[in-house]
Amino acid sequence: MKPLIFGYASWYVLWTAAGLVGSAVNFAALRRLGVPAARAALLLGVLPLLAVLGAKLFYVIENGLSVTAPWHHSGYRMPGGLLAFALGFVTLCRGLRIPVLGALDAIAPGVALVIAVGRIGCFLKGCCFGTVTELPWAVVFPSGSPAHTSHQAQQLLSPDAAGSLAVHPLSLYFSLDALAIAVFVLWLARRARYPGQVFLWFVVLRTWSKAALESVRGDHVASGPNHSGEAELWVALASSAALIAVTGIRAARTRQARRSGAVSPAERAPWRAG
């Protein structure tokens, strides 16, 4: 694993490419929303840096490592990157006077696309491997990979084993899941009824599927804020409750407005991000 692309580690190239493509897609979406080019560029230029920092800190805290020198450790964790991205996005949008909910809806497909492409880089790096399985699409990681090292530490392999046991290709599951979500939110963006609906659906689908896929993760940590996917499960429950509540409140208000004759033709039409 870890093949080179143009002389660089493949995972690094793919995550960089994912960030660039995602930024281009999100820039176009924000421009369609009416956000000035300079503000959109500033927003999308800062966010990747925050995401990398968040992913690094999450990994360090999750594994009980020292936070005084986080860059001395090689790992990153997606939940931390997404959390830092979301918090930074809301804060920057308010500072740049960009409509937060509309902007969140606009970038949801691009964020899903970044995850879909970037997770292929995770697969090539060999991280985020799954549990042992006999399924026909199981993969065997080579000697020196995280899966091989983990299986040797658990004494599941002979000392001279050339590869790991066959495991679920968890990173590819994450990639396919994100791609499916990107297709869905693109479809929903043309049919959304209120600002924030597209992003809420993105969070709901992403966190539920991530929590489910964590059940076949083979590189669990013994402690930390996301052991076995508990963090995703709680976010999934909270976001689902928010989606149900907001949709119910909006529907009740629309029915009441229709009874009073206060709904305009524009309000009857689906709200569209961008």
- Residue 13 scores a pLDDT above 90: no
The model's pTM is: 0.79
- Which band of pLDDT confidence, cut at 50, 70 and 90, is reported for residue 36? very high
Q: At what angle do helices 100-125 and 78-95 cross, to 10 degrees?
A: 150
At 123-144, the pLDDT tens digits run: 888 888 999 999 999 999 998 8
The CB density around residue 272, as the number of other CB atoms within 10 Å, is 16
What mean pLDDT is reported for the chain?
83
Residue 242 domain-assigned? Answer: yes
Residue 219 domain-assigned? Answer: yes
- Residue 28 scores a pLDDT above 50: yes
How many angstroms separate the CA atoms of 274 and 271, rounded? Answer: 9
Residue 76 domain-assigned? Answer: yes
The CB density around residue 144, as the number of other CB atoms within 10 Å, is 12
Q: Which two tokens stand for residue 214?
A: 């964590």
Residue 154 domain-assigned? Answer: no
Residue 138 domain-assigned? Answer: no
> Which residues make Cβ contacts (< 8 Å) with residue 250, sequence separation at least 6?
193, 194
Residue 64 domain-assigned? Answer: yes
Range of the domain at 253: 4-131+168-268
β-sheet bridge partners, residue 163: 142
- Residue 8 scores a pLDDT above 60: yes
- Residue 6 scores a pLDDT above 60: no
> Which residues make Cβ contacts (< 8 Å) with residue 130, sequence separation at least 6?
167, 168, 169, 170, 173, 216, 217, 218
Closest Cα partner for 218 from 164, 180, 266, 161? 164
> ∠ at Cα 129 (74, 59), nearest 5°?
35
